[in-house]
Amino acid sequence: MIDHVRVTTRGRGLHEITREVQAVVRASGVDEGLCTVMIRHTSASLTIQENADPSARHDLERWMERHVPEGDPHFTHTAEGPDDMPSHIRAALTSTTLSIPFEHGALALGAWQGVYVWEHRTRGSVRDCVVHVGA
């Protein structure tokens, strides 16, 4: 079964989609298998990260800003603004696809794990994730 999860981001940062992905798994009626999530963009990514303490997400974003800053004079791909190439590099360094096992119709995530769209653009956007549920 294939479905889509769309998320409207408010701009740069991690936006949790665990509930939406879980809903797709539940709606599939499949008891156990593998859920694959792929984001259909080159300037955003996916990650599984702590969902209990927001400071973890904040610290990840600050770390990424330090290591892939906007305004690097070596970047030539700036057609969509100063966050253009940094967004692509950030997506390349992270993941555009996640594979999550599930059992009894529930994602097999740890107690403090959540599924996130990591928006790398400074402005908000609508992001489309393809979710495949297979036995």
Cβ 16 vs Cβ 73: under 8 Å: no
Instruction: Give me the mean pLDDT over the 72-89 stretch.
Output: 94
Q: What is the pTM of this model?
A: 0.95
Please name the residue that has the structure tokens 């100063």.
Answer: 82
Cβ 105 vs Cβ 26: under 8 Å: yes
DSSP secondary structure string, 32-88?
Answer: SEEEEEEE--SSEEEEEEE-S-HHHHHHHHHHHHHHS-TT-TT----TT-TTHHHHH
Range 2-134: architecture per CATH? Sandwich (2.60)
pLDDT score of 45 more than 90: yes
**Per-domain boundaries in the chain:** 2-134
If residue 30 lies in a helix (H) or strand (E), which one and from where to where? none
- Which pLDDT band holds residue 17 (cuts at 50, 70, 90)? very high
Neighbours of 117 (CB within 10 A): 27
